[in-house]
A and B are shown apart, each in its own frame.
Chain A
């Protein structure tokens, strides 16, 4: 096979960084189109002892795909949907290459239009059945919809709707991957389990990987901090969320869910944080499974949106809201029928009024265009903060985005919210807080105005990580550890467990060539 690696040049400069704005180094780059090409590239790099960093769409914000020397293995050209199969449940599973973009896949599922060239007859038949039957959807919905499905698998991505549907993990039923030495493996959910903490994974060439799983107990929260590990676990779950450090995921099979008959959104504005928390706790208490997401926005986030709405034409279509609003909560209702959604809306309204909100100031989206408007409101906040940080970086180069991704168990949500805000007030830092409050998972965004504030912000991040770990929480709930949260992972699990993870990595990647700098400091197993 031809060596499809190209030397790095100015043309490829963008591939040295991701959305975290961290920049790395690399000497070569390659854009394989198949698992076989990927395997050949990895075998070559293994012979040359060349480190390899896997990339998808580079939308991550933990610097997981920022290269640490060697080869950039960019999978964005592995963007084909390979086939389809009907499941016994009546739903469908799609086999995709790792570089398929989420928004394109979700759009194809919605419109039931796929490029079927190269599909086998069974897949074409299954696709026909999909076209004739009801509507389905792919539930994982990270804010960044230009992410690749492979990237989502690598960091076990989730998103707003994870409150009801969880992360991408349970929707991945099979995957193909390639080890650092070029040997491929295929895993199917339910086919290969650990025996206690001992794991044997068969390779396609008849070989086998023997490994010992780390002995830590994972937090009882949304979590993508380090390797997924539990006794008797399914082997497929180890590769999901492994941050490109164990093997290169090249193909996945993902399942769809039946589309709810009725999807409504509700954006409530409240006087402040305490009222919003009260409302959220009431919502959670009344929920019987129809609430798909519960999202929070604090006064700082709303203030940024107010400014954007009037000062930036792109955001002019944002819905108007009262000057007195000090917090907002977005909820998405997924019901079978409008009657059911209406009853739920009524109960949510009662919860809102009891918590100090007003039904008059609560927006409800019952049509697709209204729902898109509310989702735009949700997505406009991170977008605006990125713009703000980029602007401040021009004035002070050391400034980068300081955004937390930590989750705590239910009982500690109120304490953690106070803890975050007390620290921000004490240090006098500007901030915007939003995120998945339903899962006790808020993104605290510190917005430093100068280098001194940036340092203060970093110190707070560490302080919060310690507190979250003390409360049995996770230092990364959905963005993965990447290169930016390595220190926090050690706070969470301690050195002994990190060493267990190193040993596990070494079983898969003895030379520590894959995803250098992710999860582990330095060269991983050194």
Chain B
């Protein structure tokens, strides 16, 4: 099975710190890693490859340093990687990004299955997977929490759907987005890291893509960020002291005060 896994670079931190002046994320001192959901997509691809054979390509659009993350994807089990990197891609929203990735798929050649993480932990849009499928005009299933069966013609998956699950079968080529519940991503092996240093990685710029300049980067992005801000949460701590009955009475007053 010929598979492509889309990966995105995100900051490694559970705690996003915002600059109160510029209202942008503070990236200094934070390690860049593969978006955690994308690791589940990669693991799903590796498990499929172990069952059916095939090849896995990791694909990303980003700045040149993303090469290190793509080599990390190879160390974890991908066979090769393609990095789409060009200043012309800068400022892309999800639509322009998915068009660029779709054009990037043209460099990879034929494919049977594209796997994306359910969403990225920084943007939280969950739009890239479905938009990429639409751009390539292939079917997709979002929020896949289990791959049940797969062969060269189709894949049967379980989709997390609100309060329950759907079992869906989709003809290949197709795209799926994968949730955290699907698997436990493996760690790179030392042998994998050694392999990743010399494994094929293609670096492609906008000139190599069959995509008009007005459909990529900021120019190709209908989304306009009008304003960003850090929400202010005001918390007031009022100690309640005294005997238990006094404390209970004070608490009751507070409850009434806030109108509960």
> From residue 179 to 204 of chain B, which have CB atoms closer than 8 A to chain A?
184, 186-191, 193-194, 197
Q: Answer yes or no: B234 CB below 8 A from chain A CBs.
A: no
Q: Answer yes or no: B33 CB below 8 A from chain A CBs.
A: yes
Q: Answer yes or no: B36 CB below 8 A from chain A CBs.
A: yes
A175 to B15, CA, bound (A): 34
Q: Find A317's partner among B29, B33, B184, B189 (CB 8 Å cutoff).
A: B184
A368 to B14, CA, bound (A): 10
A320 to B75, CA, bound (A): 17
A338 to B72, CA, bound (A): 13
Given A135-B29, A317-B184, A368-B31, check contact A362 B72 (CB 8 Å): no
> From residue 282 to 339 of chain A, which have CB atoms closer than 8 A to chain B?
317, 319-320, 338
Closest residue of chain A to B33 (Cβ to Cβ) is A367
Could you tell me if A364 and B187 are in contact, using CB atoms closer than 8 angstroms?
A: yes
Could you tell me if B188 and A364 are in contact, using CB atoms closer than 8 angstroms?
A: yes
Could you tell me if B187 and A361 are in contact, using CB atoms closer than 8 angstroms?
A: no
Q: Find A362's partner among B33, B184, B189 (CB 8 Å cutoff).
A: B189
Closest residue of chain B to A360 (Cβ to Cβ) is B191
Q: How far is the CB of A325 from chain B (nearest CB, A)?
A: 13
A188 to B91, CA, bound (A): 56
Q: How far is the CB of B74 from chain A (nearest CB, A)?
A: 13
> From residue 355 to 387 of chain A, which have CB atoms closer than 8 A to chain B?
358-370, 373-374
Could you tell me if B188 and A366 are in contact, using CB atoms closer than 8 angstroms?
A: yes
Q: Answer yes or no: A266 CB below 8 A from chain B CBs.
A: yes
How big is chain B's contact interface, by range?
Answer: 20 to 34
Kindly list chain B residues whose C-beta atoms are within 8 Å of the C-beta of A319.
186-187
Kindly list chain B residues whose C-beta atoms are within 8 Å of the C-beta of A135.
29
Could you tell me if B194 and A363 are in contact, using CB atoms closer than 8 angstroms?
A: no
Could you tell me if A349 and B194 are in contact, using CB atoms closer than 8 angstroms?
A: yes
Given A367-B31, A368-B31, A369-B36, check contact A359 B12 (CB 8 Å): no
A365 to B194, CA, bound (A): 14
Q: Find A360's partner among B12, B189, B197 (CB 8 Å cutoff).
A: B189
Could you tell me if B31 and A370 are in contact, using CB atoms closer than 8 angstroms?
A: no
Kindly list chain A residues whose C-beta atoms are within 8 Å of the C-beta of B197.
342
Kindly list chain A residues whose C-beta atoms are within 8 Å of the C-beta of B184.
317
- State the main secondary structure of chain B at its contact with A: mixed
How big is chain A's contact interface, by range?
Answer: 20 to 34
Q: Answer yes or no: A346 CB below 8 A from chain B CBs.
A: yes
Closest residue of chain A to B184 (Cβ to Cβ) is A317
Could you tell me if B187 and A365 are in contact, using CB atoms closer than 8 angstroms?
A: yes
Q: How far is the CB of A129 from chain B (nearest CB, A)?
A: 15
Q: Find A111's partner among B15, B72, B193 (CB 8 Å cutoff).
A: B15
> From residue 1 to 25 of chain B, which have CB atoms closer than 8 A to chain A?
12-13, 15
Kindly list chain A residues whose C-beta atoms are within 8 Å of the C-beta of B12.
367-369
A41 to B190, CA, bound (A): 57
A368 to B187, CA, bound (A): 12
A278 to B87, CA, bound (A): 51
Kindly list chain B residues whose C-beta atoms are within 8 Å of the C-beta of A362.
189-191
Closest residue of chain B to A362 (Cβ to Cβ) is B190
Given A317-B184, A346-B194, A369-B12, check contact A364 B29 (CB 8 Å): no
Q: How far is the CB of A362 from chain B (nearest CB, A)?
A: 4
Q: Answer yes or no: A124 CB below 8 A from chain B CBs.
A: no
Q: Answer yes or no: A352 CB below 8 A from chain B CBs.
A: yes
Kindly list chain A residues whose C-beta atoms are within 8 Å of the C-beta of B33.
367-369
Q: Find A349's partner among B15, B29, B36, B190 (CB 8 Å cutoff).
A: B190
18 more CB-based (< 8 A) A-B contacts, given A360-B191, A367-B33: A111-B15, A135-B29, A268-B190, A319-B186, A342-B197, A346-B194, A349-B191, A359-B189, A360-B190, A362-B189, A364-B75, A364-B188, A365-B187, A367-B12, A367-B72, A368-B31, A369-B33, A369-B36
Residue numbers of A with Cβ under 8 A of B are 111, 134-135, 266, 268, 317, 319-320, 338, 342, 345-346, 348-349, 352, 358-370, 373-374
12 A/B residue pairs, CB under 8 Å, sorted by A: A266-B190, A319-B187, A358-B191, A361-B189, A362-B191, A363-B188, A363-B189, A364-B189, A367-B33, A369-B36, A370-B187, A373-B187
Which 3 residue pairs across A and B have the least CB separation, nearest first? A359-B191, A362-B190, A359-B190
